[in-house]
Every structure is written in structure tokens, then in C-alpha cells.
A and B are shown apart, each in its own frame.
Chain A
């Protein structure tokens, strides 16, 4: 097994709220095999691109719509969908990212939404 050092920060001030946003966490994640350290795809109309299968173990998924903000040319959004297509639970505009554990048995596909875009992703199995 290996470990990854994570860091996540959210900071800012929201109109009408006295307390500022100040979230900062940095847990160490224990990682098993297999993994995808860095992957890239370009979305295609009418195609769900599977990145995690239903038979895959619990894992951490990182995904970012790199589009035009990441050196790509894509302007579309990405829907994050269960592999069976029954549930769309996430949506990433250009520049948006997500990091979340995925339970085994669900599977995840990334789906074209509105226009072609570029996707960066990584998957780390959780032991």
C-alpha cells in the first residue's frame, strides 16, 4: 500500500454572511492497487465514457473539466453518471473539479453535456 497527501481549501466571503468561508483539510489517504494516476479523455456526443466499473473496489475519484481553462479547447460541461445511466449526480463546468469516494458496485461514467470538452481524471483504490 501507499499513501497520498491531500490538501483541500475553500476560502472567501459570501454576501450577507458574517462568517467567512474557511475550510482547510489535509488528510493522508491510504491507497491500494489498481490506480490511474493521470488520465485524460475528450467527451463525445451521445457517449458515456466509463471510468470506474461496477466490479471495481471502493476508490477515490478525482475529475476535472479542463476545457479551455486547462489548455484544452473544450467548452462543454461534464455530467457524472452512474454506469447504468440511471442517475446523474454531478455536473462540472469548465474549470470545475470534484474529488469523492465511490462505492463499489456503482461505477461511474463521464458524459458529454452540451458541447465537447476535455477531462482530466485519476482513480485510487481504497483498501
Chain B
């Protein structure tokens, strides 16, 4: 894809012996909402700061409409950014804050007034021009920061965990606003977060970062249904991981041996699977069905805990040779009648909905 709007190519960033970003490449379409998701220290923020121009990559290039961005200093990149912390200019009013990028660009006064008003309207803070940042809530301050970052119509908006300082309710409210603003303005957004729910709610696509590399890029649905790595599987959504061993390989699928002598065939595996390789079998809690009583040759266990969560019921099933397994059943499921702690149950799942992740250290020498 040579004509991508924004292209990150082979970015590497090393601080002495420590490599913060190893080899990050991706293409982003114009108007796309792309989220960098990962734990702290995974390189997502560093990548964003390289885009902003506050850090230079050790290797690699960043292109906007085919032109390299790296030789342009940060203040000439014309990129908008909302930071994790509150970064409103404390001595200026809200109106002056939003006007700042336009004043720097020496826009005529009438245009500034009009665009500041429009930007504040966009973030639903009309009429608060004369407030000082210190007299505003955290949510309001981040909205002003958003208005300030958008008032000069930057082609790209960077957001570095802008909601992490807010409480949950406010966070969800502003997530909704961000989504609306993205739709209204059509600006390309690169959004950094460690909150998978936030990433799923906002993004067109998500790039999952782990240890300085991108494990997988895809829509939330793709990442949830087909995680490429054990890390992605664990990071997006709830998962059970059951220790297993490869018995036989059939193309991309494998036959696995589970604890208690149970065998499952037809599980899609990731990584080089060889007989004998240690594998983690991933099962989503809602993809498991239960049946009362035990059945030979099937995974079974004892119900250890039942939690009623409204529209679904969460079970913890203890297994004598594996970690407890989470199961999520819809409200009204027939097996729930007469189910109590201590009931023996059999767990059913479709092998195709499971994923096997081969432990790389055991795949090489069998």
C-alpha cells in the first residue's frame, strides 16, 4: 500500500541498550480511528511521541501522503494532540487556549473568534470562553484540549490516554463524545490506551502492542475472534487458558491432549505445532456450554462459584488438574436449574472456537 494516508514504516527506537520500539509498521487510512492498545511499556506511547515529533526514531520512517514527516520539527507538523495529563495553558482563558494555535499561525482576528466558537461548540462547551482552566472539571479540561487540538484542522489527531485521569462514568461519556467528533470532523485519529474496553468502543482498528512490537492489527471483532498471539488473546476480552500438549498436527489445526486425559481434535493452532509441543488452549467463557454430570472423554469439573450478573451467569468450574475455568451462560440456560456449588458438570465447546497457542520454547526440539 504505497498510497496510504499515513504510513509508519519499520520504526525502531532504542535508548542505549533498551529498545522501546522494535519494529512497528502500519498503514492508516484517511479518517480512520486507529488505537494503539497495550500495557504500559509496550511502546505504544513512544510510537505516538515519534509521530508527534518529540522523539526521533533510531530507524524507520513515517510518511503522510507519501512524504516523510521526520525532517519536519514538531511545531511544523500541523498535528493535533491531546495529552494524558491536563495541558491547558493555566494563565490563559478557555477561549485564549483554543485561539492559541490560530494566533501562532497569525490568522485574522475575526476568523479566530469564529473558529474558536465553532471548536467549543464541537466539544459542547459553548459560552465558556472566559473561564480559567483551574475552574473547570477534568472532563471539561480535556474537552477544551480537544477543541484546541482540532481548531486548526490538523489532518491527524493524536490522543495519548486522554481519559485515564477521569472517573469511569465521565470516561464513558467523553468516549461517546470523541466518537461523535470523529464522525463529524472525519479527522484521522491515533489513540493510545491500555483499556481494552475503551479501544473496542472507539476504534475502527486496533493495533495491539506488546514489548515494543505489534502483535496484531485488526478490528475489535477480528482481534476477539481470531487472536494471533497468546498475548492478544489474554489482553482482549476474558479468556481461559488450559495447559495442553500437541498430539497430532493437521494443517493449521491440531489434536490436543488436555488435563485428565481428554483429547480434542480440530483446534486451530498458532505457532509451529509439533507433536509433544506445549500449548495453551484458549477458550472464551461464553463459548463454553455445560451439561450436568460427567461424561467420559470430555472436560469436566466441579462448580466452585456461581455469580448472577443480570443477563448472564458466571460460573467458576474447578478442575483437579487445571486452573479454574470461567464459564458464562445466558440467563435462563436450561442447565442452570438445580445447579449449585459442588455440582459436577461437563464442559462442551466447539474446537473451532478455541485457539491453541504453541509455547515457542517447546516447538523447536519437539
Same complex origin of A and B: no
A interface residue numbers (CB < 8 A to B): none
